[in-house]
A and B are shown apart, each in its own frame.
Chain A
Amino acid sequence: MATKPPEIPNIAEMMDKIKSGKIFGEIAKSITESQVWTSTFRHGYADTPRNRVLQIASNVWLHLHPVKIHRHALRIKFTWCMGGITFLLFLSTVVTGVILMFYYRPVGEYAYFDMKYLQYDVPFGMLMRNMHRWAAHAMVITVWLHMFRVFLTGSYKPPREFNWVIGVFLVTFTLLLSFTGYLLPWDQLAMWAVTVGTNMARATPFLGNEGPFQEFVFGVSPRYDARSMLIGGSVVGPPALLRFYVLHCIFIPLVAGALMIVHFWRIRKDGGISGPL
């Protein structure tokens, strides 16, 4: 009896499978029917409309989404995905920021050396610091782009006026988050950038000691004015460091986070992403 010739895969047939995408189904099938898989997961996921809804509705993280959306809301060309990316970058700064907080002390004597310690001694300290800083800078850019997109699509028009207003608060808080964080490394770059930035508060009308009309307000002096309230003194020193730290790590993230939740909730209440309807 002649031995059976080895089976030669038919090239044309293979190409057909790849092109039509059938190959993925076959691979998936062979994995989900394997012994390892079936012994690990007791039952499969039936792709029914009901299950699709439940995936969103019974998941605490995903349920910020509606369960169904307009088809056009999926188009990257429309949203540029910029709001979502901004949120993702915000989450990245929260995660890396908490890690940095384990090593950083907002005290004049320590702050700078804690940065050095983070960079040279803490495992992955430099990477955490880099990710935190670059995500923060990227977030500033993406939030501007998001705003630009929302303007260009006219998505602030009724019924979404109020969500735009929340958005303006969000862009302001994003900048303030970045600005307060800028001081924390306590190096020359930090100190002088914040000095330049906060010097402006000196010129606040009525409330700054060099501002217009300050002579009509009782008690305004270099030690007691809008600027000194911000930085806890008349120069950017250790009190400013502590103030900015508290604002940066607690106050502004909490307020911004709360506003983001309202922002997302309003997107749903306003009928989802705007579209040409």
Chain B
Amino acid sequence: MAQAPAPRKKIDEIPEKVHVWPYLVRLEFLCAIIVILLLAVWSITIDAPLEEAANPTKTPNPSKAPWYFLGLQDILVYFDPWFAGVVAPVLIIVGLMLIPYLDMNPKGNGYYTYEERKVAIWVYCFGFLVLWIALIIMGVFLRGPGWNLFMPWQFWDPHKVVALVNVDLPYAFGVRDYWMASFVGAVVTLGYFGVGTAIYMFMERKAIKNVGFVRMFLKIQLILIMIGIVIKIVLRLAFNIKYIWVTPWFNV
């Protein structure tokens, strides 16, 4: 979080301002023609799908949400519905809205730059390209019956059974008592956020005065949640961990 530099002033010899008519309007017009043409060609050549009539007694396997929500549906493998279906979307929306109020870097306003805002670009690209787009592509093409993973050359076998050998994290460490496990889970989960926040605050302690504590606190929580989702996916795929924290009310 560097100090605000003096805004870059660039004085051109050519006039800075141009008339919207004709310079912008003609561009928009051209663009509109091209887009409408493409849309017309697309619509003439490819028909919108219409399957058999809705039948509440016949559940297709796999049942997929519309493609743009398949990232969220894929997260369902790793998280319970209250998180993947409700809390995660809310966090995405709220988190996006907070971006302008959390990113206090005055540089890179109105032009493309990687050098001047590396962290911001990395975080956004990771969230958008990996957690959103890549999961959608996977959901559309690689998720078959039973929401199992199928490679493109594999047959979508509806009888494929994948043995579920997942255990909860405290169990993997030998904790057998329910309440003890719940306690260990709480320590691990809350500890992750606590330690993560503390480390960040310590490393960026000089910035607190300029940026403000609340901003930095919210920012690091959102980033920790994002990283946490990835950690949990990795734990599941690599170590068959189901939940980290089990309580009578919710599981994480």
Binding site for B on A (CB under 8 A): 49, 52-53, 55-56, 62, 65-71, 73-74, 76, 78, 81, 84-85, 88-89, 92, 112, 115-116, 119, 126-127, 129-135, 138, 140, 144, 148, 151-158, 160-161, 164-165, 168, 171-172, 175, 178-179, 182, 185-193, 195-197, 199-205, 208, 210-213, 235-237, 274-277
Contacts and interface: CB of A to CB of B under 8 A. Distances in A.
B20 A67 contact: yes
A277 B64 contact: no
Given A73-B24, A88-B32, A276-B8, A204 B86 contact: yes
Contacts of B218: none
A62 B25 contact: yes
A42 B132 CA distance: 57
A189 to B, nearest CB: 5
Nearest to B20: A65
B37 to A, nearest CB: 12
B124 A151 contact: yes
Contacts of A235: 56
A276 B9 CA distance: 8
A131 B35 CA distance: 12
Contacts of A208: 82, 86
20 contacts: A53-B21, A56-B21, A65-B24, A66-B20, A68-B19, A69-B17, A129-B48, A130-B42, A130-B48, A134-B42, A134-B46, A165-B100, A168-B93, A197-B69, A200-B72, A200-B85, A203-B81, A203-B86, A213-B249, A277-B8
Contacts of A81: 27, 31
B50 interface: yes
A134 B50 CA distance: 14
Nearest to A157: B109
Interface string B37-56: 00110111011111111111
Contacts of B69: 175, 179, 197
- Max chain B CB contacts within 10 Å: which of A140, A160, A195, A196? A196
B121 interface: yes
B112 interface: yes
B81 A200 contact: yes
B54 A190 contact: yes
B54 A275 contact: no
B108 interface: yes
A155 B17 CA distance: 19
B43 A127 contact: yes
Nearest to A135: B39
B69 to A, nearest CB: 6
A37 B9 CA distance: 49
Nearest to A108: B54
Contacts of A161: 100-101
Given A70-B18, A201-B86, 5 more contacts: A56-B20, A65-B25, A71-B17, A130-B46, A200-B86
Nearest to A172: B93
A193 B35 contact: no
A209 B83 CA distance: 15
Contacts of B43: 127, 130-131, 134
B96 interface: yes
Contact of A187 (B52, B84, B99): B52
Contacts of B55: 188, 191
A195 B63 CA distance: 9
Nearest to B47: A130
A84 B36 CA distance: 13
A60 to B, nearest CB: 14
A152 B24 contact: no
